[in-house]
Amino acid sequence: MSEDSDVKKGNPEKTGNSGGHGKDWSQKSQTSHDSHSSLLHPRGDYKTLLSYQKSVVIYQITYRFCKKFLERGDRTTDQMIQAARSGKQNIIEGSKAGVTSKEIEIKLTNVARASLEELLEDYLDFLRVRDLPLWDKDSREAQFVRKLGKTSPFSFELFREFTETRPAAVIANIAISLIHQACYLLDHQIKSMEKNFLENGGLRERMTRARLQVRNQ
């Protein structure tokens, strides 16, 4: 059976949107500070970030992939699971730190990006050493995964059937495609954070401006 047909068996009409099985991460952002505060940035709900949603799915796929296809005692198992976890956890920590420090938010988001890049290399190595095929980015399989990546709400339920029934090569390629998507989103987040920091400065600069404004008044 070809890998193309292998993936196509799990088309959206068969697997469904699965919104009823997973949590709805599309809820509106909640703020933890008064909107009129000029010093602290309002804290958005990191769960609404598509990069976070994808990193959660990547972690869930990776955990199952390692337990199913890697030998017990293989150090790669711990490394891959930890890299996947670091990706999502640093997005969370960066979002929380952004209330008081845009510098730390940028740093932690970069750590999340680097962790996913490390995980990507592990998946590529898995395919290389076993002479398994890597999907071309324009292949029908890769396009199918990208199409699923646009589904809202985005959750693991979209990929549960694949991870439970497809061979290792298919699942690894799905994970690789999702990692590329998450890294693309994180790259744009980092650029946006850097632009915001350059235009508005950090907490210390905002405090200085606020003090000067009070003195002038």
Query: How does pLDDT run across 51-62, given as a tens digit for each residue?
Result: 999 999 999 999
Task: Check residue 211 and give its pLDDT.
Answer: 60
The more confidently predicted of residues 161 and 37 is 161
In a domain, 98, yes or no: yes
73 sits in the region (left: phi over 0; alpha: psi -120 to 50; else beta) called left
Q: Indicate the pTM of the whole model.
A: 0.74
What residue numbers bound the domain in which 69 lies? 43-216
In a domain, 60, yes or no: yes
In a domain, 11, yes or no: no
Task: Check residue 141 and give its pLDDT.
Answer: 96
In a domain, 7, yes or no: no
Task: Check residue 203 and give its pLDDT.
Answer: 53
User: Do residues 157 and 150 make contact, with C-beta atoms less than 8 angstroms apart?
Assistant: no
Q: Using one digit for the tens of pLDDT, what is the confidence trace for 186-211?
A: 999 999 988 887 777 655 655 555 56
Residue type, 82: Q
Does residue 144 surpass a pLDDT of 90? yes
In a domain, 8, yes or no: no
Task: Check residue 37 and give its pLDDT.
Answer: 45
Report the chain's mean pLDDT, rounded to a whole number: 81
In a domain, 36, yes or no: no
Number of domains in the chain: 1
130 sits in the region (left: phi over 0; alpha: psi -120 to 50; else beta) called alpha
In a domain, 37, yes or no: no
Does residue 164 surpass a pLDDT of 90? yes
Q: Using one digit for the tens of pLDDT, what is the confidence trace for 98-135?
A: 777 788 899 999 999 999 999 999 999 999 999 999 99
Residue 172: which of 79, 85, 58, 96 has the closest Cα?
Answer: 58
The more confidently predicted of residues 116 and 15 is 116
10 Å CB burial of residue 137 (0-12, 13-18, 19+) is exposed
Task: Check residue 201 and give its pLDDT.
Answer: 62
In this structure, the number of other CB atoms found within 10 A of the CB of residue 145 comes to 22
Task: Check residue 72 and give its pLDDT.
Answer: 87
